Amino acid sequence: MAAYLVRRLASVGVTLIAASLVVFIVLEVLPGDPALVMLGTEATDETLQALRQELGLDRPAAVRYLHWVGGLVTGDLGVSHTYDVPVVGLIADRIVVTVPLAALAMLLAVALALPLGVLAAARRGRPSDYSVMAFSQMGIAVPGFWLGILLILVFSVGLGWFRAGGFPGWEAGMWPALGALVLPAVALALPEAAILARVTRSAVLETLGEDYVRTARAKGLGRRTVLFRHVLRNALIPIVTIMGLQFALLLAGAIVVESVFTLPGLGRLVFQAIGQRDLIVVKDVVVLLAGLVVFINFLVDALYHLIDPRLRREAGP
């Protein structure tokens, strides 16, 4: 298991280095002159030269790349060209919106999907099964950002129960902050719940056919006891895997939903940075998000091996 983890960590390291190289090449090498991209064609030679010096563009690209990666490791992400403040501070302010939003959405998705998936599997072929599958098909087809707009229409514009957008900040108190995240989290959670309910149904059905389940039933254990104590516990392995993979995509989805609800998260930060041509912020946020996706995938993989003894044996000592 330890050897497997080391191998997998090495592979994560290679992917992270490759991801940082891609981001660096796309944003610093391919545009030719990043200073010109940031300031536009109307900038004077003096201001262009000053920015080139500030960005260290007179140095070779390889040196700049190593300097940037060194900064990523030590937490020195440079200074935003637009805000004139350290990028690490900007990211710290925004990540406390994006990550709780994605986590709340995942929590809601799991709370909805697990019971629905188990219900559909336990009542296979009956109306409740078809209803869950229909919900799943519809949920997968509905874009999260459209759902967000519809939720604002109904619950903010129509009923006035929630604010239509914005974020009061965690300093305003936990409940007002969480209240501002409820609708965006629901918009993100429903499509995820649709996928997870389908996976749960399929995993539970597969486990229901296992020999040990038949043995448990033959021993006289009740249907519910078998379902929750034996079936669901074993079906959780593929469900957890998909949950982890979906969490990474949820982070990407949060970027769009933040725009719908004007939440000051990482998504809004990066879109404003694109508009302001602040390549320093774009570079740092994109590599951070890509790194988070890679790291979450690694955690899921490790967890998968930890909870499934068969894979532990295959991975070898």
Partner 1 sequence: MKARARAEVGGRHRHRLAHRSFLAGAALSGLVVAMAIVSLVWTPYDHAAQAIVDRLQGPGARHWLGTDHYGRDVLSMIMVGARNTLAVGAAAVGIGAGIGIPLGLLAAARAESWIDHAVGRVVDLTFAFPAILSAILVTALMGPGAVTAILAIGIFNIAVFARVARGAALAVYGREFVRAALALGRSRADVALRHVLPNASSALIVQATIQFAVAILAEAALSYLGLGVQPPQPSWGKMLYDAQTLMFMAPLQAVFPGLAIALAVLGLNLLGDGLRDVLDPRLAQGRAA
Q: How far apart are CA 257 and CA 151, in angstroms?
A: 12
Distances (CA, A) of 171 to 174, 178, 180: 8, 12, 13
Closest distance of CB 142 from partner 1, Å:
5
Q: How far apart are CA 113 and CA 200, in angstroms?
A: 7
Instruction: Considering the complex, state which of residue 125 and residue 220 has its C-beta at the smaller distance from partner 1.
Output: 125
Closest distance of CB 284 from partner 1, Å:
12
**Position of tokens 């709340």?**
104
Q: For residue 132, which amino acid is it?
A: V
- Do 261 and 148 contact (CB within 8 A), yes or no? yes
Closest distance of CB 171 from partner 1, Å:
28
Instruction: Considering the complex, state which of residue 161 and residue 170 has its C-beta at the smaller distance from partner 1.
Output: 161
- Output DSSP code: residue 317: -
Question: In the beta sheet, which residues pair with residue 86?
Answer: 79
Instruction: Considering the complex, state which of residue 27 and residue 177 has its C-beta at the smaller distance from partner 1.
Output: 27
Give the footprint of partner 1 on this chain (CB under 8 A): 11, 14-15, 18-19, 22-23, 26-27, 30-31, 37, 125, 137-138, 140-143, 145-146, 149-150, 152-153, 157, 202, 205-206, 209, 248-249, 252-253, 255-256, 259-260, 270-271, 274, 279, 282, 286, 289-291, 293-294, 297
Instruction: Considering the complex, state which of residue 15 and residue 49 has its C-beta at the smaller distance from partner 1.
Output: 15
H helices within the chain, ranges in order? 2-24, 34-39, 45-55, 61-74, 87-122, 127-141, 144-151, 174-208, 211-218, 223-225, 232-260, 266-275, 279-307, 309-315
Instruction: Considering the complex, state which of residue 245 and residue 311 has its C-beta at the smaller distance from partner 1.
Output: 245
Q: How far apart are CA 204 and CA 162, in angstroms?
A: 36
Closest distance of CB 257 from partner 1, Å:
10
Phi, psi of 151 (to 5 degrees): -65, -40
Closest distance of CB 141 from partner 1, Å:
4
- Do 279 and 28 contact (CB within 8 A), yes or no? yes
Closest distance of CB 280 from partner 1, Å:
11
Instruction: Considering the complex, state which of residue 37 and residue 169 has its C-beta at the smaller distance from partner 1.
Output: 37
Instruction: Considering the complex, state which of residue 173 and residue 214 has its C-beta at the smaller distance from partner 1.
Output: 214
Distances (CA, A) of 150 to 102, 107, 119, 140, 161: 19, 21, 28, 16, 14
Closest distance of CB 11 from partner 1, Å:
7
Question: In the beta sheet, which residues pair with residue 79?
Answer: 86
Closest distance of CB 270 from partner 1, Å:
6
Instruction: Considering the complex, state which of residue 167 and residue 261 has its C-beta at the smaller distance from partner 1.
Output: 261
